[in-house]
Structure 1
């Protein structure tokens, strides 16, 4: 597999798969183990000119039958304050998420929507980001638990709409910004692809007191020059994710598999995939993460509505439950509830 970099090659962001309700309706399944408590460790809420996903949409998905006790809202650059200084504009997103959570309460939802918030702050400000973090903590009304700065970068593949610079995780000023999190009780949500895992491992070693959670199992690429080379990518990803797991301050989110960058192509079938076929494709990645991190540092996530273009919410949780079928009761509780509840400091 050739991985030669071409800095001048044009790159376009890989779009999310469009959500097709009529297609998703072709596949429904009753919930497996409906009494198993779940914290959805990663989802978005947004309102953009071309797409919307609000609390009522999430609750409609949750109505598929699984016991979703609470959810973690993760930044997605929605509802920024247009009239605020650029470094403080993301406070508007936290206010939006809090309002959406209140909407869930008004609807009488059993699920605590956005019980924890992961916001955005420009950590490349270095130590100066401290005042921004203090402002976001105040705006978050006790729910802000972490900060995410997307670091996804590749010379040939643009796997995210974000456009961070190369080697952001190694930048000294950026690291000075990350160092501001731990003293304020905040964690770092890291979204990086498989070619960047050594950089994240280096960051975790440099800041051992900072709790870090890797999003979407570290994005083993299955598109561009990596399409058709899944075994080679898996071997490289497995090696580097095992090294990352040696850092005790790092956790991992199991999910995001519906994004095009994984190259699973679930969306191309005439009908949505069933949970058994999803589980079969995801098993090597999920089992590897649980093996090297242990269930106490792994948490399942929906990544909705991003993954909704590939499969339904209820079917997805069934797939995860199939993957955990051989786990002990304690391990299942950790994977689906306790690890996320501990990491994001949620009440039981």
Structure 2
């Protein structure tokens, strides 16, 4: 599916609040650990995803007004103090955003918001890193993502299991000292973790009610590795944990990430679902539960590209989201596709009119 005629609701304005940029084409991706894991295969399929590739996706018919970049360990500084090397990613993305803002390549304001990485285990010393990100972002920097995704079975996260993330990062006292530095600077926290870890995020959200927390990827349902064949059986536990998290008023949720390999829907480049209807049918229990628990004004659809390209293309992904919401009111659709993202990431200059 690639023709603009195939777009559902083509005039609906969208902010895509979650995508990455990277160029790993010079790496020997075939030699990376867990070479047959779905995430490794995705990297081999999409080793380069820069502004050209992003705009090729956003220009295929959906009305993508702006995007938010989420950290992915791209373009770190090659030298200098180690804690500050992640600032290189913000410097790089801010340059991309400036190119997009020129209008030379179209109307989409790519990377209008930037979420970077800082090691919050630095405690209060992370303040220097946060200030450096804010300076490098030149008004576009919005928050931090310090991934907490972990599972004892390395086959679940595959190549990402080699990052050395501890089992309960969000409960680490030093991490929480660093986390306390976010709210005073108006910074939010994007939380990526897996469903069994959600109680840690509930505890964190309750401990820091003044910090906006964005739950990525509907809380990370799992269906591979030790969880293979158990995704449906774990649904009730996932739903219970989502409802507990929704009780924390400072938490919002991104609806997406289900096309990644971790959820275990057994789709891949060779075996993609036939249609957006098929995607919508599989994802509906997760999407609808989140909207019911959080309310539309605390939910936002995300592409998570290029990672979710593992299962579908950009057009089909957004068509699936639109198909899922065909029974929603106009106000609910505005919130899900645009307003929540604009509010949470403070994209005041982006208009849906």
1:116: Cα distance to partner? 0.1
Deviations 1:51-82 (A, max 9, x none): 11011101111122111010000000011011
Deviations 1:95-122 (A, max 9, x none): 1111222333363321100000000001
Pair 1:102-2:98 in alignment: yes
- Structure 1, 45-54 or 304-313: larger mean CA deviation: 45-54
Pair 1:77-2:53 in alignment: no
Counterparts of residues 199-214 of structure 1 (less than 5 Å): 199-214=200-215
Q: Any unmatched runs of 5+ in structure 1? A: 1-23
Task: Pick the aligned partner of 2:18 from 33, 42, 58.
Answer: 42
What is the match of residue 224 of structure 1? Answer: 225
Counterparts of residues 13-28 of structure 1 (less than 5 Å): none
TM-score normalized by the length of structure 1: 0.90
Structure 1 residues 192 and 29: alpha-carbon distance in aligned structure 2, compared to 1, 3 A threshold? farther
What is the match of residue 149 of structure 2? Answer: 152
1:225: Cα distance to partner? 2.0
Q: Contact 1:29/1:314 (CA < 8 Å) preserved in 2?
A: no
What is the match of residue 113 of structure 2? Answer: 116
Deviations 1:261-307 (A, max 9, x none): 00012216555531000000000000000000000100000000011
- Equivalences, count: 324
Q: Contact 2:273/2:279 (CA < 8 Å) preserved in 1?
A: no
Pair 1:333-2:309 in alignment: no
Structure 1 residues 123 and 270: alpha-carbon distance in aligned structure 2, compared to 1, 3 A threshold? closer
Structure 1 residues 270 and 223: alpha-carbon distance in aligned structure 2, compared to 1, 3 A threshold? closer
CA distance in 1, matches of 2:196, 2:164: 16
Q: Contact 2:169/2:175 (CA < 8 Å) preserved in 1?
A: yes
Q: Contact 1:258/1:307 (CA < 8 Å) preserved in 2?
A: yes
What is the match of residue 88 of structure 2? Answer: 92
TM-score normalized by the length of structure 2: 0.89
Q: Contact 1:121/1:133 (CA < 8 Å) preserved in 2?
A: yes
4+ long deviations beyond 6 Å: none
Structure 1 residues 174 and 33: alpha-carbon distance in aligned structure 2, compared to 1, 3 A threshold? same
What is the match of residue 129 of structure 1? Answer: 126
Q: Contact 1:29/1:315 (CA < 8 Å) preserved in 2?
A: no
CA distance in 2, matches of 1:296, 1:271: 31
Q: CA RMSD in A?
A: 1.6
1:28: Cα distance to partner? 8.7
What is the match of residue 61 of structure 1? Answer: 57
Q: Contact 1:266/1:273 (CA < 8 Å) preserved in 2?
A: no
Q: Contact 2:272/2:312 (CA < 8 Å) preserved in 1?
A: no
